[in-house]
Amino acid sequence: MIKVSVMYPNTPGARFDHDYYRDKHLPLVKARMGDLCKYYTIDRGLAGGAPDAPATYVGMCHIYCDSVEDFQRGFGPHTQEILGDIPNYTDLQPVLQISEVVVG
């Protein structure tokens, strides 16, 4: 299994609408990817590691798929629509990472 993490840096003055992200954007991603997206999670940054430090990321999501190929097949045909929705909830540039999920 792989995890696609999309992370939004916590930049002072930036806009991020958590409600839109949760209620509209991620359901759109899931609807377009269908069963190729096994499930997703959403994080809201609360704090950094040091006392009173801000969170590194204001928000992020993690999309779980069986393989990189499944992610590409599910996301690829809808890339323009999905990326075109980003300005509806943020003016931040996301950081993306694909990881292998290792279960211990």
Strand partners, 90: 16
Mean pLDDT of 19-32: 98
Tokens 């990326």 found at: 83
pLDDT tens digits, 39-82: 999 999 999 999 999 999 999 999 999 999 999 999 999 999 99
Q: Does residue 104 surpass a pLDDT of 90? A: no
- Residue 87: its pLDDT value, please? 98
Angstrom distance (rounded) from CA 17 to CA 90: 6
Which CATH number among 3.10.20.30, 1.10.530.10, 3.40.1160.10, 3.30.70.100 corresponds to the domain 2-100?
3.30.70.100
Angstrom distance (rounded) from CA 28 to CA 78: 10
Q: Are the beta carbons of 63 and 37 closer than 8 angstroms?
A: yes
Domain limits of the chain? Answer: 2-100
The DSSP secondary structure of 71-95, one letter per residue, reads HHHHHGGGHHHHHHTGGGTBSSPPE
